[in-house]
Structure 1
């Protein structure tokens, strides 16, 4: 008999339970009260249970009705999600938005933009990767991602379309207890001085960079695979390196890190790099990707 249960019966059950009466449930569903009462009676007959105690002025959920209410809500939620997914497929909405972000780019802005996209397209799943150097471009070329955020001018490919969205300031820093920091009052630090100390640099997880060395000035290097590891090693006093200003602003303000006193690494030891939203030319934005793009630009004031 349970195979005869209908979604309509479950919707009526949930509506009456949430609105507090058969009359209010009927109004909520734009039906006459007798039709709602009939649907509940049929549902109770199918289940072999009494869902509402009708002895009082207003119907009250029985213990059995209370126990089954969460199941009914869950079933209806899943059905609504299925319908939304089917509607999205018919409208060309992506099942998943895949995105690879350059490790230099502020990830909180990405998170806020993704949340805005999900508010508009709640059925779209997200696959997010954060990779350094050639990682974002490679993800597009290999079709692992539909979108990428690329920082800098070093990685270009004719198959990829770029749109400038912001800039990222990188600051050459060192731990406050490092010998280079202790020399700050003794005049400008030269390239030879920097070369005497370990430089913390990112490793490219892809073959894109080949033998090219981006910003490596010291023959002594510590190569790490992620920006957080680079940040931690510099904070620990292991060596010096460039980090995005958004990541180190608090460390600089609170004195854990200091800017290197050198004009060889940009004015005030700071350089700006352009950030781009990129995608394959042969794979234009779908609705969710377009919504993410617009939300990200709003976040960045672009």
Structure 2
């Protein structure tokens, strides 16, 4: 059976183009590398290198085996990484429950950094509407919650206000509301409004119903697609629609009762009286800056 040392020398020789260069790379003599590869070829039953040229060239069989050799060493690195993670007390997984409107580019960057810092810890990204998230944290369905604030103290969770997320009112450019220079509450009554609501019927108090015609969805991304098709108008996170507004796919509505962008508060929550592991603690501390 091939040894790990043989595989390392084989990969080094293939990548550097010579046995002597491979030896310098891994701190071995040329003869040790050559002997290890010959023994590896004997174990496998076929040649890995064509030695008829000045520099050894991988054979077709050698090319095939190189892929597997790299995979074996990568798996070994993964195992070593997992062992270190276990020794350091890092969690096998961290579950982040968030309102999908808060899947911001800045959050993606934080998650990428998390993956580098805790490569052996899995991230489970769970999506729900904000009013349902505190209950799921209390029930143990998730470790960290990222949500729009309900404006009240939630039992069983530790709440931290982290900033505000700007929303804009939008519709398709051909929707009737866009024909009005300014729009008051009375004009909105007869035009279909798209709102967020959970399957259990929970709604956010910060998203008021301003129309007699209401359609509901459980995702802001779904609402955005409906608005793009001209189904109605809606308040949507600015980062979800800014590109579509700039390209003319969506139109921003000029509401008379809005002086500034409407920006609901956002909270990061975690269970009370529960000690978080190092990976979850790092993620919680960094998510606090997602709106900075």
TM-score by length of 1: 0.83
C-alpha root-mean-square deviation of aligned residues, in Å? 2.8
1:77-116 aligned at under 5 Å gives the runs 77-116=74-113
Which of 184, 205, 208 matches 1:189? Answer: 184
- Number of the residue aligned with 2:149: 152
SS in 1 for 2:54: coil
Structure 2 partner of 1:217: 210
1:52 paired to 2:45: no
Hey, what's the Cα distance between the residues in 2 that align with 1:245 and 1:210?
A: 20
SS of 1:272 mapped into structure 2: coil
> Structure 1 residues 136 and 36 mapped into 2: Cα distance closer, same or farther (>3 Å)?
same
* Secondary structure in 2 matching 1:50: coil
Alignment partners' CA distance in 1, 2:118 and 2:223: 36
Unaligned runs of 5+ in 2: none
1:196 Cα shift? 2.8
Indicate which of 2, 5, 9 corresponds to 1:8: 5
In terms of mean alpha carbon deviation, does 164-173 or 154-163 score higher? 154-163
Give the drift of 1:170. Answer: 2.0
**Cα drift, residue 21 of structure 1:** 2.2
**Aligned to 1:203, which of 188, 197, 201?**
197
Question: Which whole-Å CA distance do the structure 1 matches of 2:162 and 2:220 have between them?
Answer: 21
CA contact (8 A) 1:109 1:296 kept: no
Aligned residues: 291
Q: Which residue of 2 aligns with 1:276?
A: 267
What corresponds to 1:237 in structure 2? 230
- TM-score, length-normalised on structure 2? 0.86
Aligned residues of 1:184 and 1:261 also touching (Cα < 8 A) = no
Q: Deviations over 1:47-90 (max 9, x none)?
A: 12222233443332233222211111111111211121121111
2:249 paired with 1:258: no
Distance 1:283 1:25, change over 3 A: farther
**Counterpart contact for 1:134–1:155, Cα < 8 Å:** no
Preserved CA contact (<8 Å) 2:164 2:291:
no
* 1:271 counterpart SS class: coil
- After the TM superposition, list the runs of 4 or more consecutive aligned residues in structure 1 that deviate by more than 6 angstroms: 210-213
Match of 1:43, SS state, is helix
- Cα 1:22–1:228 shift into 2, 3 Å: same
Change (3 A) 1:34 1:205: same
Indicate the larger mover: 88-97 or 73-82: 88-97
